[in-house]
Amino acid sequence: MPLMLALPGLAAVRAATGDASTPFDDDTVPALARDLATRAYVPPSRTLPAALDAIDYDQFRDYRFRGEHALWRDGGAPFQVQLFHRGFIFKDRVDLHVVEDGRAAPLPYRRERFDFGPQVPPPDDPQLGHAGFRLHAPVNSPDYFDELCVFLGASYFRAVARGLVYGLSARGLALGSGEPGPEEFPLFRAFWLERPAPGADHAVVHALLDAPSVAGAYRFVLRPAGEETVMDVDARLYPRVALRNAGIAPLTSMFEFDPGDRVGVDDFRPAVHDSDGLAMLNGRGEQVWRPLRNPAQVDHSGFQDEHPRGFGLMQRKREFADFQDAEASYEKRPSAWVEPVGDWGAGEVHLVELPTGNEFADNIVAFWRPREPLAAGREHRFGYRLHWCRDHAWLPGLARVAATRSGEGDGDGVRPRQFVVDLEGEALSALPADAQVRVEASASAGELRNPVAYRLAANGRWRMSFELFPGEADVVELRARLLDAAGAPLSETWLWRWPA
């Protein structure tokens, strides 16, 4: 049964392809989601004309949207919208609507909006729908509309800010990431795009999420602000069943290797990753940094917290020399920082690290999981602000981890594992030469020896190092930071799991 029959409210919006429209406000999509959650899940249509259904990646790349057909191009709006064609792996039909003056009208497919290169164009069927869209705005200069963000595939979306290129992605919702058994991938099956007023500094997008276990309504307010692009997200979830494995505000990225984790790597580049660490600001006000790894097997970590203040997947390496890749420009990949709005209560920040042998698939997931399951038959609402940026200064007074390295230490008989962590920031660079600085380090098992901290003359950073004697332990959780003479923190807290 197609969605237009299962959900009469949405069918009314889709029914006509001309000038027909229906009333729309901020309660429209939540009402559709609540109604959808009372019904059995029906997947979106994946039916395509035979020629379109069979195209491969190279053929799909020839399908390009014609910029002269961008929405709002001729109306003086500060944003423009370009559309994605269905095909290749993007077969799900996504319904798009334009909202203006409190009314929503469907956006039908029109073949003339696309250039197909040498490929045979599909039939010009208004009901073909689209795969997604991208929003353009003046990001790097006031007279050119750059790509700002893209919504394409399941519930994935991503954005950039000034001087950055696409990298990691966000999702509407994660279900079962890192858990045994198949993961469920919710999808955005319909969007409503509000036409911005001339001179507006933001764009508003509404999305209807659906999956076998849950329906949801999302409202995105997108603001390009130069050094960062900010998305205010209002997510309302309506589970069909109790959700025990929900991931709120999920982020997805790629980490293959860097100087601290390159065992068995034969590559001319010193590092390959979209993100190099999970950052957290917990409810106790502690700033935490957990470097990412490419593990030998799936590794799933949970960091318990109450009233979290933020978390994100960050890219801290920002020099070409860090990667030596003139094409991928990994040093220009965004960081993404999730700032909860309101009290999220008790739960865990989860980090899932999957093994990978290449740089072409995401293998890192981070999200918030509430302590209590999300009950079926009621609304669960989460608000958060998502910052796409080079970096995000959550506690700028603390020194940050700049590099993590480890290797076999010296010793007779059992050799320890030596860890070396470099730190940088004003809190350390401003210290006098005779400052008393000490390492506070702990291990969940085994023994730590010889903790020491000192300034590096070559670059002004500080280094803390210590040795781990794991003994009989199979896994050891490590924790370290720098303190001043009075015991106050000078740096964020570094976390690591051994073995990597």
Would strands 22-23 and 103-106 be described as parallel, antiparallel, or unpaired? antiparallel
Instruction: State the span(s) of the chain assigned CATH 2.60.40.10.
Output: 400-498
Least reliable range by pLDDT among 45-59, 280-294, 307-321, 371-385: 45-59
Q: What confidence score (pLDDT) does residue 222 get?
A: 98
- In this prediction, residues 1-21 reach a mean pLDDT of 45
421, amino acid identity? V
Q: What confidence score (pLDDT) does residue 11 get?
A: 53
Q: What confidence score (pLDDT) does residue 5 get?
A: 34
Pick the closest to residue 238 from 265, 210, 274, 270 (CA basis): 210
Q: For residue 26, name the pLDDT band (cuts at 50, 70, 90).
A: very high
| 249 contacts 221 by C-beta, under 8 angstroms | no
Cα separation, 129 vs 450, whole angstroms: 64
Check whether 425 has a pLDDT greater than 60. yes
Q: For residue 17, name the pLDDT band (cuts at 50, 70, 90).
A: very low
Q: What confidence score (pLDDT) does residue 16 get?
A: 35
47-69 pLDDT tens trace: 999 888 889 999 999 999 999 99
What's the CA angle centered on 78, arms 73 and 81, to 5 degrees? 50
- In this prediction, residues 293-310 reach a mean pLDDT of 96
Check whether 413 has a pLDDT greater than 80. no
DSSP tally for the chain: helices H, then strands E: 6, 33
Check whether 2 has a pLDDT greater than 50. no
Check whether 42 has a pLDDT greater than 50. yes
131-152 pLDDT tens trace: 999 999 999 999 899 999 999 9
Q: What confidence score (pLDDT) does residue 459 get?
A: 85
- In this prediction, residues 81-101 reach a mean pLDDT of 96
Check whether 221 has a pLDDT greater than 60. yes
Distances (CA, A) of 183 to 180, 282, 288: 8, 27, 28
Strand partners, 238: 215
- In this prediction, residues 299-322 reach a mean pLDDT of 97
How high is the mean pLDDT of the chain?
93
Cα separation, 349 vs 344, whole angstroms: 11
Q: What confidence score (pLDDT) does residue 412 get?
A: 67
Q: What confidence score (pLDDT) does residue 3 get?
A: 41
User: Among residues of the chain, what percentage have pLDDT more than 70?
Assistant: 96
DSSP letter string over 242-284? Answer: -BSSEEEEEEEE-EEEBTTB-TT---SSS-EES--EEEEE-TT
- In this prediction, residues 10-34 reach a mean pLDDT of 75
Q: Please provide the CATH number assigned to the domain covering 3-389.
A: 2.70.98.10
CATH fold group of domain 400-498 = Immunoglobulin-like (2.60.40)
Would strands 187-194 and 95-100 be described as parallel, antiparallel, or unpaired? parallel
pTM above 0.85, yes or no: yes
User: What DSSP element (H or E) covers 52?
Assistant: helix 50-53
- In this prediction, residues 122-136 reach a mean pLDDT of 95
Instruction: State the span(s) of the chain assigned CATH 2.70.98.10.
Output: 3-389
Cα separation, 485 vs 494, whole angstroms: 19
Check whether 159 has a pLDDT greater than 60. yes
Place of tokens 């040093």: 331
Check whether 19 has a pLDDT greater than 60. no
Give the list of residues 6+ apart from residue 139 with CB closer than 8 angstroms, or none.
Answer: 146, 147, 148, 160, 161, 162, 224, 229
Token readout for 365 is: 């997931």
323-379 pLDDT tens trace: 999 999 999 999 999 999 999 999 999 999 999 999 999 999 999 999 999 999 999
Check whether 460 has a pLDDT greater than 60. yes
Distances (CA, A) of 453 to 243, 354, 430: 46, 33, 15
CA 45 to chain centroid? 27
User: Among residues of the chain, what percentage have pLDDT more than 90?
Assistant: 84
